Structure 1
Amino acid sequence: MPSTQPVNLVKDELSSVAVARAHARKAEVAAMLRLAGGLAIIGNKVVVDAELDHLPSAQRLVSAVHTLYGSIPALHTMRNSTRSSDHYLLRVTHAENLARQTGLIDHRGRPISGMPPWIIRGTRDEVEAAWRGAILATGRLSLTGHRQGLTVSSPGPEAALALVGLARRLGVTAQRREDRGRDCIVVRGDDAVTTLLAQIGAPQTSTQWSNRRHHHRLASQTGTGRSPTFESANTRRAAAAAAESTARVQRAMHILGDTAPEHLKEVAALRLANPGLTLTELGGRAQPPMTKDTVAGRIRRLLNLADRTAARAGIPDTGASTFGILPG
């Protein structure tokens, strides 16, 4: 699969996300201009440029800059025989106010290298919007090689470290690294990538990423001598574990009923409605999405609570559901 295909999938989805709050839209714009943009002085006037590799993303940025800030950007298509696809240059002249409001310069007109403080301490939807803008600006997904996972290019370490911190606020582990002398933010684990994508407005790409990674692992293991029988055994064990978990959760809800805490009821409902899904996939379907560890922890707490309740009442606990000894 070409490495650009998942990039187009995620950018297509993210560029169509509807955002109600103006502050969240501004966070997305600020991140896009910070990561894909630059400042110049032309004819004693501040000019803001942003170069993107995805037309719907560029059009989204043009619309947002005009709607939110009243500026009228020009959008140019840049064709280059050395590139596999066109790039798009957004340019705003007379852009001093835009640069100041989006955190590219301070009140004295001096360039700022990091992300705006109001995003760093912003609300959750502003944090999600900033990451959405970062991916639209310079993000790329890759299934193979040393860039496997999600990578976002940054103009410097300050913006990269800021995005690492913002990812942490979303429950996702990201790291700052250097790639060919340029700062990058990388999200490597499958659970982290699927969780982040689901949270920022790309649930379809999140699900497809999870499925593609699963199929890719199977293909690569088979191609390197791993036995298909071994994989089949793993699949059977995973299915058996999911079935056991579902049976225990069902028994737990029978024991606890309405006394179960709301957040544990929610994860129980997810497990019972989707008995064949992995914990990662369950987390992607939660609202808001949860990590695999969060889902596992809540199921574990639900079962422990039910088992303690059953012991006090002198009735079979959740483990009895897996041995067929529950009373009819």
Structure 2
Amino acid sequence: MALLDDVKSELAAFDGDSPAAIKAQAAAMIRFGGGLHRIKNSYIIQFECASLAAAEWLRDTLKNVFGHESEIKHLTRQAPNGPMKTYVVFVTRNVVALALQTGLVDRRKQQVQGLPAEVVNGSIAQIKAAWRGAFLARGFLSEPGKASFLEIACPSEEAAMALCGVARRLGIQAKHRTLRSSERVTLRDPDAIERMLKLMGATRSAREWTGKRSDGEARGKANRLANFDDANMRRSAKAAAEASIKVQHAFEVLGDNIPENLRQAGQLRVDHVDKSLEELGKIAEPQITKDAIAGRIRRLLQLAEKTEKARAAEGK
């Protein structure tokens, strides 16, 4: 989490945007981090995140740019890894006026499901700011040395599609997926991740992430080659890497429609590319044989292939 915190601190400190871009960032932060809520006969605007710097940026921007007062509340929640601090920005006065200013509602006072039209159709600076705001609200970044990803949790399918659409204007292909009823927008290509970090304004963190990733890949490759003392081991490593790619594709095709035993076997293959099938069976819970885990991975890939063929037939 240290690198993610550094990225968000750098983004919250980004300076030099135009007024329109600042408004686009604030709108995206609110849209992805909370939004407009009706409580009894009144409305509130709420933004929640794990970054104090992001919460303070939004509070200051709402006051200095939009002319609205807000307050920050500190909350502590119990998470699987221990207590987690979150920060919530509340606006309780003149809420509808602020919602109109930020584009959370349109002129008919209907809530916008994606991103405001003035952002989607705005300048490149506004597009960069919208991605920056969405990332500050609900962004995640893999630690160097692990499977690369940059991901944003989205409040709705429309918001995810809008984020993918504006990414294309930046020349970056982002993928929308639904994971356990949660809408996500994901980048997995390391070069695209590095470029997006720079476009959002986290140039220092982008260099750090890329440097650590390159070092990790070099060390991992050296270690694997040192342990491969014959051609059979090299072929096994290549097969494991290819299987990992196929499993990731199967996950994308099948989404949530995967039997749990097949999902677990596939996830082990993705998480431990350098391990043999026998080693995967030993770290499975409960332990299973080499043949059992190979069979489950094979059935997972067959299920994905069958599903793809069925979808292709339906589309004809």
Q: TM-score, normalised by structure 1?
A: 0.65
Q: Which letter maps to 2:225?
A: R
Write the distance in 2 (CA, Å) between the matches of 1:205 and 1:117.
Answer: 30
How far 1:144 sits from its partner (Å)? Answer: 6.9
Q: Contact 2:145/2:217 (CA < 8 Å) preserved in 1?
A: no
Q: Contact 2:145/2:216 (CA < 8 Å) preserved in 1?
A: no
Write the distance in 2 (CA, Å) between the matches of 1:221 and 1:146.
Answer: 13
Q: What residue in structure 2 maps to residue 87 of structure 1? A: 86
Q: Contact 1:19/1:25 (CA < 8 Å) preserved in 2?
A: no
Q: What residue in structure 1 maps to residue 225 of structure 2? A: 226
Alignment of 1:165-180 (within 5 A): 165-180=165-180
Q: Contact 2:145/2:212 (CA < 8 Å) preserved in 1?
A: no
Q: Which letter maps to 2:36?
A: L
How far 1:20 sits from its partner (Å)? Answer: 3.8
Is it true that 1:133 corresponds to 2:130 in the alignment?
no
Q: Which letter maps to 1:32?
A: M
Percent identity, please: 32
How far 1:81 sits from its partner (Å)? Answer: 2.9
How far 1:218 sits from its partner (Å)? Answer: 2.1
Aligned in 2, Cα 1:177/1:147: closer, same or farther, shift over 3 Å?
A: farther
Aligned in 2, Cα 1:145/1:111: closer, same or farther, shift over 3 Å?
A: farther
Provide the alpha-carbon RMSD of the alignment.
Answer: 2.2
Structure 1: any 5+ residue segments left out of the alignment?
A: 230-328
Write the distance in 2 (CA, Å) between the matches of 1:191 and 1:84.
Answer: 34
Write the distance in 2 (CA, Å) between the matches of 1:202 and 1:16.
Answer: 10
SS at match of 1:140: strand
How far 1:88 sits from its partner (Å)? Answer: 0.5
How far 1:193 sits from its partner (Å)? Answer: 0.8
Q: What residue in structure 1 maps to residue 52 of structure 2? A: 55
How far 1:196 sits from its partner (Å)? Answer: 1.0
Write the distance in 1 (CA, Å) between the matches of 2:44 and 2:33.
Answer: 14
Is it true that 1:205 corresponds to 2:202 in the alignment?
no
Q: Contact 2:45/2:92 (CA < 8 Å) preserved in 1?
A: yes
Runs of 4+ in 1 over 6 A off after TM superposition: 144-147
Aligned in 2, Cα 1:147/1:228: closer, same or farther, shift over 3 Å?
A: closer
Q: What residue in structure 2 maps to residue 291 of structure 1? A: none
Q: Could you report, residue by residue, the CA deviation over 1:21-44 in whole angstroms, capped at 9, with x for unpaired residues?
A: 110100000110110013222352
How far 1:160 sits from its partner (Å)? Answer: 0.8
Q: Contact 1:157/1:183 (CA < 8 Å) preserved in 2?
A: yes
Larger-gyration structure (1/2): 1
Write the distance in 1 (CA, Å) between the matches of 2:170 and 2:201.
Answer: 13
Write the distance in 2 (CA, Å) between the matches of 1:196 and 1:228.
Answer: 36
Structure 2: any 5+ residue segments left out of the alignment?
A: 229-316
Q: Which letter maps to 1:151?
A: E
Deviates more, 1:101-110 or 1:55-64: 101-110
Write the distance in 1 (CA, Å) between the matches of 2:53 and 2:76.
Answer: 17
Aligned in 2, Cα 1:147/1:217: closer, same or farther, shift over 3 Å?
A: closer
Write the distance in 2 (CA, Å) between the matches of 1:9 and 1:218.
Answer: 24
Alignment of 1:143-154 (within 5 A): 143=143, 148-154=148-154
Residue from 1, 4, 7 that aligns with 2:4: 7
SS at match of 2:78: coil
Q: Which letter maps to 2:190?
A: D
Write the distance in 1 (CA, Å) between the matches of 2:52 and 2:199.
Answer: 23
Q: What residue in structure 1 maps to residue 157 of structure 2? A: 157
Deviates more, 1:171-180 or 1:187-196: 171-180
Q: Contact 2:153/2:182 (CA < 8 Å) preserved in 1?
A: yes
Q: Which letter maps to 1:109?
A: K
Q: What residue in structure 2 maps to residue 109 of structure 1? A: 109
How far 1:228 sits from its partner (Å)? Answer: 9.1
**Aligned residues between the structures:** 226
SS at match of 1:125: helix
Q: Which letter maps to 1:88?
A: Y
Q: What residue in structure 2 maps to residue 289 of structure 1? A: none
Q: Could you report, residue by residue, the CA deviation over 1:10-59 in whole angstroms, capped at 9, with x for unpaired residues?
A: 10111111134110100000110110013222352221111111000100
Write the distance in 2 (CA, Å) between the matches of 1:20 and 1:205.
Answer: 19
How far 1:108 sits from its partner (Å)? Answer: 2.8
Aligned in 2, Cα 1:188/1:125: closer, same or farther, shift over 3 Å?
A: same
Q: Contact 2:21/2:129 (CA < 8 Å) preserved in 1?
A: yes
Q: What residue in structure 2 maps to residue 216 of structure 1? A: 216
Q: Contact 1:40/1:48 (CA < 8 Å) preserved in 2?
A: yes
Write the distance in 2 (CA, Å) between the matches of 1:27 and 1:51.
Answer: 17
